[in-house]
Amino acid sequence: MAQSTAFSLCNPEGLYDPSPNAYSHLAEVRPGSRLLAVAGQGGEDAQGRLAPDFEVQARQALANLRLALAAKGAGLGDVYKLTLLIVDHSEPRLRQWVAEAQQAWAGAMLPTCTLIPVPRLALDGMLIEIDALAALPA
């Protein structure tokens, strides 16, 4: 995945390396960029069904994010900020998320990210929701 021309990501010296946890510390959006805000995407399939497994829902939520971005000509490489809402967050769930994110971004620098543990989400059985901000060249 090529680095975006609409923004840059970095990890400033003096801060720990966040890449093992699948995020970057800082994003700078260039002036004149076209911004997209993607509502929280969960792990439901096109029929609204949710798998009981966190890893499957995380993968589906990323697929849903890709579909939403594609509607405006964007892709995961255009995302500079994520907010993750995870039900019953744990270190094992974090490791599963990291594996899915690293695969999705295919070795590219990952967006900035805030992970928020929550007791539940909008739908019964929903385990993850991904909110995203993306930038495209004007």
Determine how β-strand 26-29 pairs with β-strand 7-10: antiparallel
pLDDT tens-digit profile, the chain (138 residues): 656 889 999 999 999 999 999 999 999 999 999 999 999 999 999 999 999 999 999 999 999 999 999 999 999 999 999 999 999 999 999 999 999 999 999 989 999 999 999 999 999 999 999 999 999 998
Structure tokens at 9: 């990501």
Amino acid (one-letter) located at 87: V
- What is the reported pLDDT for 138? 87
Domain boundaries defined on the chain:
7-136
Write down the pLDDT at residue 107. 86
Which is nearest to 62 in space by CA: 83, 36, 43, 35? Answer: 43
- pTM score, whole prediction: 0.94
State how far the Cα of 18 lies from the Cα of 57, in Å rounded to an integer. Answer: 23
CB 68 within 8 A of CB 41: yes
- DSSP for residue 57: H
Rounded Cα gap, residues 64 and 75, in angstroms: 11
CATH number of the structural domain 7-136: 3.30.1330.40
Which two tokens mark 10? 């970095």
What is the pLDDT, as a whole number, of residue 4?
81
